[in-house]
Amino acid sequence: MTIQRLSEITDNFGRARVLVLGDIMLDEYMYGSVERISPEAPVPVVDVSSSKILLGGAANVAANICSLGGEALLIGVVGEDEAAVKISQLLKSKNISDELLVTDLSRRSSIKTRIIAHSQQIVRADREDRHEVNPEVEKQILKKFLSVADEIQAVIISDYGKGVITLSLLEKLMTICLDRDIYVAVDPKETHFNNYKRVSIITPNHHEAGFAYGRRIQNEEDLLEVGNGLLNRLQAKSILITRGPDGMSLFTADSAPRHIPTFAKKVYDVTGAGDTVIAAFVVATCAGADPTEAAVISNTGAGITVGEIGTATVTVEQLRTELERNIKNGNVVAVAARASR
């Protein structure tokens, strides 16, 4: 990728109009320090000095799209509670409408509370319900989707396994998207993996991909078998397997696999990195990038995100600056994988 090509793609990020559908969460962070062990139990006592709340899950994907200059629509389910009010307020602060949210009186809004001391996460406490949405709620989700289906370029399914993405809903969504030629990207939950048939791109990490295929990824041979095997099994156009410090590997139906090395300089927190990956990949694709270019761009975005504590978004300016630096240093490469047997 050249700097000129980078500019051509990022200048068109504003063209992206993407619908995110999935599990919405509220991420709460409490920061402090540890100076003693509790006399009540052998656990650290955290003196909390500050806290903040951020959008999580599908809402963080939407926030990343907006941060990159695209337009995000968000469909998800919340309870009738204080957390839902906070989620709506945070969405509005990001210029994301809450009009497509569905309220389910049978469940709580998902809240994940992380306590962090000295840049390390001490514990996470989850308050949520994980049962599948009932047919009436599913019907409301589908109705909201149909109300905007003609206005979008792409759909991101952000599946955290909290009950919003049911097999019934997924089948109906895929039928609509295939009929209308809507680009479909999936951030998967491994237990639902085989349900994501004929999608445009799916972005599992190497643990999820190995679990779904039934082979642990320990070397390049394993990686190639899993990536190519899942590509064929799902009849997908492409699969992007994220591999932590080893970067990413892109498998597509019409070209050889490509490995993209990581651009991360420091890793403080991987929370939300997958949200950045899929958001940046889809925005870049909507802006005219080919799959390899989109993978390089999303890999760079993830490298920026993991350098911050907590769920984070990446701006187009940060992305451009980091990519330009890597291009000048000759670090932007996509290495062809060896042929698999």
Instruction: Please give the DSSP secondary-structure letter assigned to residue 109.
Output: P
pLDDT at site 339: 44
CA atoms of 22 and 75, how far apart (whole Å): 7
Catalytic center residues: 275
pLDDT at site 336: 59
Work out the pLDDT band at 341, boundaries 50, 70, 90.
very low
CA atoms of 271 and 301, how far apart (whole Å): 13
Torsional sign, CA 206, 212, 216, 221: negative
Instruction: Please give the DSSP secondary-structure letter assigned to residue 268.
Output: S
pLDDT at site 306: 75
The DSSP H or E segment spanning 233 is helix 220-234
Question: Mean pLDDT across the stretch 312-327?
Answer: 88
pLDDT at residue 85 above 60? yes
The structural domains of the chain, with segments of one domain joined by +, span: 3-25+56-111+128-336
pLDDT at site 143: 97
Rg (C-alpha) for the chain, rounded Å, is 20
* pLDDT tens by residue, 4-60: 999 999 999 999 999 999 999 999 999 999 999 999 999 999 999 999 999 999 999
Which distant-in-sequence residues (6+ apart) come within 8 Å of 150 by Cβ?
180
Q: Taking a C-beta distance cutoff of 8 angstroms, is the pair 21, 140 a contact?
A: no
Provide, rounded to the nearest whole percent, the portion of the chain with pLDDT above 70: 92
CA atoms of 160 and 98, how far apart (whole Å): 20
pLDDT at residue 94 above 90? yes
| CATH T-level assignment (fold) for domain 3-25+56-111+128-336 | UDP-N-acetylmuramoyl-L-alanine:D-glutamate ligase (3.40.1190)
Q: Taking a C-beta distance cutoff of 8 angstroms, is the pair 164, 26 a contact?
A: no
pLDDT at site 266: 57
pLDDT at residue 312 above 90? no
pLDDT at residue 311 above 60? no
State pTM to two decimals.
0.92
Q: How far apart are the first and last CA of the chain?
A: 30
Q: Which of 214, 205, 218 is nearest to 306 (CA)?
A: 205
Range in 147-161, 184-198, 211-225, 301-315 with the lowest mean pLDDT? 301-315
* pLDDT tens by residue, 219-257: 999 999 999 999 999 999 999 999 988 889 999 988 899
* pLDDT tens by residue, 246-300: 889 999 988 899 999 876 555 554 666 889 999 999 999 999 999 999 999 999 9
**Average pLDDT of the chain, as a whole number:** 91
Give the CA dihedral 290, 266, 68, 185, nearest 10 degrees: 50
